[in-house]
Structure 1
Amino acid sequence: MIRKTMIAAGSTTLLLASTFLTPAMAAESKETYRLMELFATVFEKVRAEYVEPVKDDELIEAALNGMLTSLDPHSSYLNAKSAKDMEVNTKGEFGGLGIEVTMENGWVKVVSPIDDTPAFRAGLQPGDFITHLDGEPVQGLTLSEAVDRMRGMVNTDIKLTIRRNGTAPFDVKLTRAVIKIQTVRSHAEGKIGYVRITQFSATTDTDLRKHVDQLKKDIGKELGGFVIDLRNNPGGLLDQAIAVSDDFLEKGEVVSTRSRKSEDTQRYNARPGDITGGLPLVVLVNDGSASASEIVAGALQDHRRALVLGTRSFGKGSVQTLMPLGQYGSMRLTTARYYTPSGRSIQAVGIEPDIKVLQSKVEPINVPERERRSEASLRNALTNPDGSAKQPASPAAAPADEHKGDDKTDAAAPPVIKLGDPAQDYQLARALDLIRGLSLYRPPAN
C-alpha cells in the first residue's frame, strides 16, 4: 500500500514522503497523522488567539524542546546559536562560569565545576542545585535557556542561589569570564606521577601523552606508578575517552554502545601499547565524575588495570548523538547506552570504587617530637650497634604565634578542598599510599 499525505494548516505545511506500508503500519501512521494535524491546529490557534503576538520560530523551537526534553535530561534542541556554542565548548574555550549542569525535577543541578573557573573558585560542588538566577527562579526554563542566561558578556556579574544538602540556601556572586580549559595537568609527588584530567575535549589524549612522557623524564627510573584523577570530570568526547583508556591497556574491549536496534551495537577495542609500561595505576572518582570519565574508570577497573578509589561516580551512561538540522541548528538525541567491558551499564548506577574513601581534609596532629613514643625513649634501651641512630633532640619551642589562624575558615562558607594537594586532599593521599604499596611488590625492571 502506498500512501502520500500532505497536511496543511495556514502557512504550516508538513510533507510526509511516500512509503510502502503494511496494514498495521498504515493504521499506526494514520493515527500519527491525526496527531500531527492536532499539533498544526494548536499551533494556528496560538498564533491567532494568544493574548500577545508570538513568533513562529519561537513556538516551533519551544515545541521541539518540549518534545525532546520530555524523553530524558540530555536530549534537547539546539538552535543555530546554541549549536555553535557547543562546538566552541568541545574545542576547549568558551565564555561563561565554568560549570557543567543538567536538569533534575525542574531545577538546574551541578554535575561538576571545571577547575580554575569562576564556579570552581566560588566553591560550587557536584550535586548543588541552582534555584534562582539573579533572583529569578529557574523552574519553567529549559536547560538550554538556563545555560544561555548564565552565559553573557565577559566581566559581567550574575548571582546564583544555591541549595545544598545540609545547609540553608545561599547566594553566590560570580563574574563571567572566558573559560580556557586546560584538560590535563600533572606534577610529580615524590616518585609517583599525578595526572588530573578535568574534561575530555579534542586535545585530551595528545595532552595526556605529553604529560606522561614529561613525568617519566622528571622522575626517571624510580617512577613507581601514576594516579589518574578523574574527580569532578563531567565527561566530553567519546573518542577521547576511548583513546585515554587505550593508552593504559594492551588489548581487550574498552566500551560498547548498545542502541535500540541490536545490529547497531558498536564495540571499541584497545590496541597494543601501554604508555606507562605497565606501572601501577590508581584512578580517583567521585560523584562529579560522569559520562566519558566513567568509561575510562570502568574500562580500567574491568580489565584490572587500575584500582578505582573514591566515591561512586555520577552514573551518566547514555550516548547523545548530535544531529545537524542545517540552518536551524541541531538536535541532541539519546541514541544508546554505554556498557563497560564486563557488560555493566553505567546508567543511573555509576562506577563503584574498589576502595571507597570519603573526602576529608587532612589535618596533621602536631604532637611535639619529645612526646612521641619510641624504643629510644625507653629507660635502659639498647643502643644501635652501628651507632648511626641517635636519640632525636628535643625541638626548640615554637614561637607562640606559629600556625595560628592557619585553619580558620568562615563558618558560613562551604569548605573548599584543593584537589591535587595531598596536604589537603585525603583521597589523593590515600591513592599515593596505595601506589607506594603496589610498587613495593613490583618486580624490578630489567
Structure 2
Amino acid sequence: MKRTPSLVTLTILLTFLLTPILSIKAMAEDAQSATSTKSESENLYEQLKIFGGVLEKVQREYVDEPENRELIEAAMIGMLQSLDPHSAYMPPKNFEDMKVQTKGEFGGLGIEVTMERGLVKVVAPIADTPAERAGILTNDLIARLDGEDVLGLTLSEAVDIMRGKIGTKITLTVLREGEEDPLEIDIIRDIIEIKAVRYRAEGPDGQIAYIRLTTFNENTTKNLRKAMSELSASAGNGKFAGYILDLRNNPGGLLGEAVKVSDSFLSQGEIVSTRARKAEDNIRFNARRGDMSKGAPVLVLINGGSASASEIVAGALQDHHRALVVGTQSFGKGSVQTVIPLPNDGALRLTTARYFTPSGRSIQALGVTPDVIIDQELPEDMKARPRRSEATLRGHLSSSPGNDKENPETKTDNA
C-alpha cells in the first residue's frame, strides 16, 4: 500500500530544496546593493573631483585673485539654496544674530529704531531700559555713535554698534526737535529682553484676556503664563470670560516653545508630530496633565503672516476643539529646521522634517484654514498685491514626501 507523504514532510523537503535558491537570490541582492552603493560612492567622488577642478581653475585663472573662503562659502550657499527656501548656510555674523533672536535677550540700549535721511531715528524707547532712563525720546535722531558718524552706515551696522557687552558705555550724539545744539547722551548697556508677549484686559469689565505673541523665543512661554495669571486674576472670580490669542503676523520661532504654548491650553493628547526621512527619527509631542487656562474659552487669530510655530499652536488647538480659529489662511510653513554649528563659528540650517497636526494634517504649503474666515481690510495700495505664502516660494517642499519630485520647478531656485 502506497503511503502519502505528510504535509510536514513536504514542507521540510520544499524548504530544503528552496533554501539554496533563496540564499543565492539574497546573495545576489546583497551584491547588487553593494554594487549600487559603490556606484553611488564612485559617482560622488567623480563629482567632487569636478568641483575641485573648477575651484582650482577659478583660483588660478580668474581675472582678479579670489578669496578662497568666499568661494567655499558661496558654494555652500548655492548648495543649500537648491534644496528648499529655508535651508541655508549662516556665516558667523548671521548665526550670532539668530542666537540673539531665539534667546530673546541681548546687551543693548533698549530702543526701537529705523533709518531716516541717513540717520538713526528712534521709534520708541522700550520701557524700563537704559535708553529710557537716560532720557532718549521718540523721534530723536542719532547722528553719531561714540563720535563716529552714522551717515553711511546701514541700520544693521548701526544696531551692531549700539549692542554690546553688558556694563559698557556708549555715547550717542542726538538731534532733538526744539534743541539748538546736539545732545551728548551717555548710556550704559544692559540686558534687553525682546518682547514676545504683549497683553491687556478687554471688555467692559476687563473680563477678556487679549494676548499677542509676536515671536516664539526662549521667553515666550514664561511671559505667556505670566500674562494668563495676571489677566485672569484681575478679572475676578466668576467674571473671567476667556482668552484671545493673537498670532497674526507671527513668523514662528522655536518648536519647543510652540509645544509649551499649546500645552498651556491643553491637558492631554498629541500637540504635534515631526516626520523625518527615516522613521526612527520621527517624534511626537504630547500635552502634560493640567490646563493652565482651566478650560476657559479660547479664540485664536491668524492671517497670512502666521507661520511655522504659530501654525503648530493654531493647528493643535483647532484639532482638539479647544479653540475657535478666526482670520485668514495661514502661511503654510510646515517644515522643521535643525541648526548645526560649524567649526568656523557659522552654522548649517537644514530642513530635517515636516510637522503634522494631531489629526495628521500636514501644514506644509497648505496652511491652517480658520473655522471662521474674516478678511482684514487692507490699504488700497496693498489690495492688488498677490498673497505671499509658502506655496508661492520657489523650491518649497510639498505637503508630503512623495510629491516633491512631481513638480520639476520645486528645486530650481530660492525665492
**TM norm. shorter chain > 0.5:** yes
Cα deviation code 1:134-193 (max 9, x no counterpart): xxxxxxxxxxxxxx976221399xxxxxxxxxxxxxxxxxxxxx9952001111112211
Question: Are 2:302 and 1:285 aligned?
Answer: yes
Matches of 1:194 and 1:306 in 2, distance apart?
14
Matches of 2:216 and 2:227 in 1, distance apart?
15
Higher deviation after alignment, 42-51 or 84-93: 84-93
Cα deviation code 1:231-252 (max 9, x no counterpart): 0000000100000000100100
Question: Structure 2 residue aligned with 1:183, among 174, 196, 215?
Answer: 196
Say whether the 8 Å CA contact 1:78–1:329 is kept in structure 2: yes
Query: Map of 1:207-222 to 2, 5 A cutoff?
Result: 207-221=223-237, 222=239
Question: Are 2:76 and 1:29 aligned?
Answer: no
Q: Percent identity?
A: 53
Count of aligned pairs? 280
Question: Are 2:208 and 1:203 aligned?
Answer: no
Query: Map of 1:237-386 to 2, 5 A cutoff?
Result: 237-360=254-377
Say whether the 8 Å CA contact 1:97–1:151 is kept in structure 2: no
Q: Which has the larger radius of gyration?
A: 2
Say whether the 8 Å CA contact 1:320–1:333 is kept in structure 2: yes
Matches of 1:71 and 1:155 in 2, distance apart?
31
Look up the SS of the partner of 1:348 in the other structure.
coil
Query: Map of 1:81-120 to 2, 5 A cutoff?
Result: 81-93=93-105
Cα deviation code 1:299-331 (max 9, x no counterpart): 000000000000000000000000111234210
Deviation at 1:97, TM superposition (A): 8.6
Matches of 1:263 and 1:149 in 2, distance apart?
46
Distance change (3 Å), C-alpha of 1:84 and 1:294: same
Say whether the 8 Å CA contact 1:297–1:308 is kept in structure 2: yes
Deviation at 1:70, TM superposition (A): 0.8
Deviation at 1:78, TM superposition (A): 1.2
Question: Are 2:159 and 1:154 aligned?
Answer: yes
Question: Structure 2 residue aligned with 1:74, among 60, 72, 86?
Answer: 86
Q: Which has the higher contact order (CA 8 A, sep 6+)?
A: 2
Matches of 1:340 and 1:353 in 2, distance apart?
14
Gaps of 5+ in 1: 1-20, 100-115, 119-147, 157-177, 362-408, 415-446
Matches of 2:124 and 2:365 in 1, distance apart?
28
Gaps of 5+ in 2: 1-32, 115-122, 126-152, 162-190, 384-415
Aligned-partner residue type, residue 340 of structure 1: T
Cα deviation code 1:104-156 (max 9, x no counterpart): xxxxxxxxxxxx889xxxxxxxxxxxxxxxxxxxxxxxxxxxxx976221399
Look up the SS of the partner of 2:236 in the other structure.
helix
Say whether the 8 Å CA contact 1:321–1:332 is kept in structure 2: yes
Aligned-partner residue type, residue 210 of structure 2: Y
Matches of 2:302 and 2:192 in 1, distance apart?
23
Aligned-partner residue type, residue 185 of structure 1: R
Question: Structure 1 residue aligned with 2:76, among 48, 64, 79?
Answer: 64
Distance change (3 Å), C-alpha of 1:205 and 1:59: same
Say whether the 8 Å CA contact 1:316–1:348 is kept in structure 2: yes
Matches of 1:284 and 1:336 in 2, distance apart?
26
Cα deviation code 1:32-72 (max 9, x no counterpart): 10000000000000111111111000000000000001100
Question: Structure 2 residue aligned with 1:54, among 56, 66, 73?
Answer: 66
Distance change (3 Å), C-alpha of 1:346 and 1:185: same
Aligned-partner residue type, residue 157 of structure 2: G
Counterpart residue number, 1:130: none
Distance change (3 Å), C-alpha of 1:209 and 1:328: closer
Cα deviation code 1:398-441 (max 9, x no counterpart): xxxxxxxxxxx9x8899xxxxxxxxxxxxxxxxxxxxxxxxxxx
Matches of 2:154 and 2:50 in 1, distance apart?
33
TM-score, length of structure 1 as denominator length: 0.59
Matches of 2:210 and 2:83 in 1, distance apart?
40
Deviation at 1:285, TM superposition (A): 0.2
Matches of 1:274 and 1:98 in 2, distance apart?
39
Higher deviation after alignment, 83-92 or 279-288: 83-92
Which has the larger helix fraction? 2
